[in-house]
Structure 1
Amino acid sequence: MKKTITFISKIVVGLIIAILLLLAVVFLVHIVCSKMEQGKLETYGQSVTVDGKKMNVLIQGEGEETVVLLPGYGTAAPALDFQLLVDELSPFYKVVVIEPFGYGLSALTEKERSTENIVSEIHEALQRLQIERYILMGHSISGLYGLDYVNKYPNEVSAFVGLDSSVPTISERKIEPSVLTTLKLLKKSGLARLQVKLSDDPYVELPYDEKTKEQLKILKHKNMYNLSQLNEAEMMYANFKAAESLIFPKNLPVILFIQEKHPVTDRWIPEHKKQIANSVHGKVMTFEGNHFLYRTKAKEIVEDFREFMKEIK
C-alpha cells in the first residue's frame, strides 16, 4: 500500500512539473514572438486624435459619396480585414474604415466601452477628418452602435448598411467577471497565442495576399483580449439592453445583408425584417455564408448595395 501511494505521488508530482514547464515554455515563446512581431508590424492608414488618443483610419477611393465602415467585435485589424470589401467599394465611393480604440493600430482606452462613448468617438474621428455626410456600413455589433449613431446624427447619415449586423432583440449573454479574469490570464500567460495557433485560420483560403495575412495574424496576437476589448465585452449586455427601444428613422434608407442560415437562432431573419418594417426604404437580403459575409460575398454585396441606392434616388 505504501509503495502504491509513493508511486502515485511521484506521478502527480511529475505531472505538475511537466505542466509548469509547459506553461513556462508557452510564456517564454509568447514574450519572444511578441517582440519579434513588433518589428514586423507595418503601419497603414492614418491617425486622428480622438479624446486625446490616436485612432487609426484607412481612407481609399475618391467617389463623391462616402461610406464609413465599422467593424464587428474583436476584429483584429478592421482596415485589413475589410480590404476585399473596400476594394469593391472604392471605385465608386470614398471609403473610410474606422478602427475603434483597442482595434487595429488604434490606441487603447480606459474609458468605459458603452455605446454612448464608442459612438461619440467615431463621430469625433469623422469630424476631425471633416467628413460631414456619409453612408454608415457596420458589421455585427456595429449594427447596435450604428442604430444609436443614426438616431443621434440623423442629418449626417444618408443610409445604413448592415453586414450580418446585431439586433437589440437578440441579446448577448452577460459575461461574468470570472470569465474576464480568465481571459486576462490567458493573454498574459501566452495561452491565448497557443489558442490561436491551435485554431483554424479564418483567412487561409480567402483571397488576401500573404503579406496581409501575416499582418492580420500579428495584430490578432497583439489585440486579442486587450483591456479595451474586454471592457467592451463586459459592457455588451448593457449596450444591448440600452438599444431595445431604438428603431431606425423612418425615412433613412436601410439595407441589411445577413446570413441565410444562422447557426444558433431561427429568429435572425425575422428580427432583421422587423427592423425595417416601418422604413420607407428598407430591405433585407440573405446570402449563403457565415457571419463574415463581406469576406466571401464582397462583390455581390456592393452590386446589390449600389442597385438599392439607385432605386431610392
Structure 2
Amino acid sequence: MRTGGWMMRRGIRILLKTIGAVIIAAALFMAVVFTINIISNKSEQGKIEPYGQLVPVDGKQMNVLIQGTGEETIVLLPGYGTGAPALDFKPLIDELSPFYKVVAVEPFGYGLSDGTEKERTNANIVSELHEALQQLGIQRYTLMGHSIAGIYGLEYVNQYQDEVSAFVGIDSSVPTQGGMDEDQPVGLFKFLDKSGLMRVIKKVSGDPYAGLPFDDLTKEQMRLIANKNSSNDTTMNEMEHFKVNFASAQALAFPKDLPLLLFVQDNNTDVEGWMTLHEGQVKDSLHGRLVPLEGGHYLHHTRSKEIVQDYREFMDEVQQQK
C-alpha cells in the first residue's frame, strides 16, 4: 500500500510538472507571437506602396483606382474582407480597361482608405460610396460587385436608380442566403488578430494567390495591406452588422427595368440553394441573365476574360432591345 501511494503521488507530481511546462511553453509561444506581430506590423507599414488616388468622403479619405478612358464607366465594389480591393481586382481591371473607364473603390477600412467610426449599415456604406463617385464627377455607370456587394448593391440601385445603368454580380450575396441571420464571431477574429495568431494562420496556410495572374510585387503588396487591415475596427463593425444588413436587404429587389447580370459559382456547396437564390433575383427582371461559371468564389481571379466578354455581349443585347 505504501508503495502504491508513493507511486501515485509521484505520478501526480510528474503530471503537474508536465502541465506546468505546457502552460509555460504556451505562454512563451504567445508572447513571442505577440511581439513578432507588433514588430512586423510596424515594419510592414513602410513597405506599402501607394496606388490610386485619395478622395475626400465624410471628412476622411477613400482610396480609388481609375484605369481606362472608355466612354462608359464601370464601378467595382469588393467583397467583405478583401484586403486591397483595387489590387485584388487587377485581372478584371486589365480586361475591362481597354473598353471602359474602370473605377475600383476601396470602402472605408479596406485597401489604402481610412477607417471610420460610423456604423457599417447598408445606408451609410452606400452613401459613402456614392459621395466618392460624386467627388470624382462620375454620374452614370454600371455597378459591378463581388460577394457582399450584392447586398450593398441592392441598397445602392434603389437609392440612386437614375445613375446606375446596370448591376453585375460576381458570385454576389443574396439577402436570404443561409447563415447570415446568426451572430458572427467578431470577438474571435479580434483575438486572433491582436494576439498575432492570425499572422501565424496566414503563414501556415500558404500563398492564397499561388497560380493566379498576379506578379510577385502585387502579391506582396496585397499581403502587406491585408495584414495592415486585418480585423480592423471598421471591418469588424461591418461584420457585426451582417445580421441586420442582410435582414433589411430582404425588403428590396433589383428594379425590373435595370439590366441585371449575375455570374455565379456553379459548384458552390457552402450555401444551400446558391444557384436557385440567384435565379430568383433575375426571374422578374426585364433584362436579367444568370451565367454559371466554374471556379472559386473569387471568379474574377480566374474567369475575368469570360466575365468581360459576356458583359459586353449582354449590354449590346440590352441596347438592341430598347
CA shift, 1:175, in A, is: 5.2
Partners in 1 of 2:166 and 2:183 — Cα distance?
A: 36
For 1:312, what is the secondary structure of its paired residue? helix
Task: Say whether residues 1:55 and 2:83 are aligned partners.
Answer: no
Task: Say whether residues 1:222 and 2:228 are aligned partners.
Answer: yes
Q: 2:106 aligns with which of 95, 99, 107?
A: 99
Which residue does 1:170 correspond to in 2? 177
Which residue does 1:3 correspond to in 2? 10
**1:140/1:65 Cα in 2 relative to 1: closer, same or farther (>3 Å)?**
same
CA shift, 1:201, in A, is: 2.2
**1:122/1:172 Cα in 2 relative to 1: closer, same or farther (>3 Å)?**
farther
For 2:104, what is the secondary structure of its paired residue? strand
Partners in 2 of 1:157 and 1:294 — Cα distance?
A: 21
Identity rate of aligned residues, in percent? 56
Relative to the length of structure 2, the TM-score reads: 0.95
Partners in 1 of 2:46 and 2:68 — Cα distance?
A: 29
Amino acid at match of 1:188: K
CA deviation string 1:185-235 (max 9, x = no partner):
211111111111122422011110100000011111111111111111110
CA deviation string 1:123-159 (max 9, x = no partner):
0000011101000000000011001100110110000
Which runs of structure 2 are paired with 1:151-230 in the superposition (5 Å)? 151-174=158-181, 176=183, 179-230=185-236
Partners in 2 of 1:263 and 1:216 — Cα distance?
A: 27
For 1:40, what is the secondary structure of its paired residue? coil
Which residue does 1:295 correspond to in 2? 301
Which residue does 1:286 correspond to in 2? 292
CA shift, 1:172, in A, is: 3.7
Amino acid at match of 1:241: A
Kept in 2: contact 1:85–1:294 (CA 8 A) = yes
Which runs of structure 2 are paired with 1:269-284 in the superposition (5 Å)? 269-284=275-290
- Say which is worse superposed, 53-62 or 193-202, in terms of deviation: 193-202
Task: Say whether residues 1:257 and 2:263 are aligned partners.
Answer: yes
Task: Say whether residues 1:74 and 2:42 are aligned partners.
Answer: no
Amino acid at match of 1:2: R
Kept in 1: contact 2:147–2:172 (CA 8 A) = yes
Q: 1:243 aligns with which of 245, 249, 253?
A: 249
Which residue does 2:72 correspond to in 1? 65
Task: Say whether residues 1:25 and 2:25 are aligned partners.
Answer: no
Relative to the length of structure 1, the TM-score reads: 0.97
Partners in 2 of 1:70 and 1:103 — Cα distance?
A: 11
Kept in 2: contact 1:172–1:237 (CA 8 A) = no
Larger C-alpha radius of gyration, 1 or 2? 2
Amino acid at match of 1:143: G
CA shift, 1:38, in A, is: 1.0
Partners in 2 of 1:103 and 1:220 — Cα distance?
A: 9
CA shift, 1:61, in A, is: 0.3
Kept in 2: contact 1:133–1:156 (CA 8 A) = yes
Mark the runs of 5 or more structure 1 residues left unpaired by the alignment: none
Amino acid at match of 2:297: H
Amino acid at match of 1:291: H
Q: 1:114 aligns with which of 94, 100, 121?
A: 121
Partners in 2 of 1:67 and 1:252 — Cα distance?
A: 15
CA shift, 1:273, in A, is: 1.2
Cα RMSD between the aligned structures? 1.1
Amino acid at match of 1:54: Q
CA shift, 1:182, in A, is: 2.3
Which runs of structure 2 are paired with 1:124-135 in the superposition (5 Å)? 124-135=131-142
For 2:241, what is the secondary structure of its paired residue? helix
Partners in 2 of 1:158 and 1:293 — Cα distance?
A: 22
CA shift, 1:174, in A, is: 4.4
CA shift, 1:281, in A, is: 0.6
Partners in 1 of 2:206 and 2:291 — Cα distance?
A: 28
Across the two proteins, how many residue pairs are aligned to each other?
A: 312
For 2:51, what is the secondary structure of its paired residue? coil
Partners in 2 of 1:257 and 1:184 — Cα distance?
A: 32
CA shift, 1:3, in A, is: 1.5
Mark the runs of 5 or more structure 2 residues left unpaired by the alignment: 1-7
Amino acid at match of 1:65: E
Partners in 1 of 2:173 and 2:83 — Cα distance?
A: 19
Which residue does 2:4 correspond to in 1? none
Task: Say whether residues 1:41 and 2:48 are aligned partners.
Answer: yes
- Say which is worse superposed, 148-157 or 200-209, in terms of deviation: 200-209
Which residue does 2:3 correspond to in 1? none
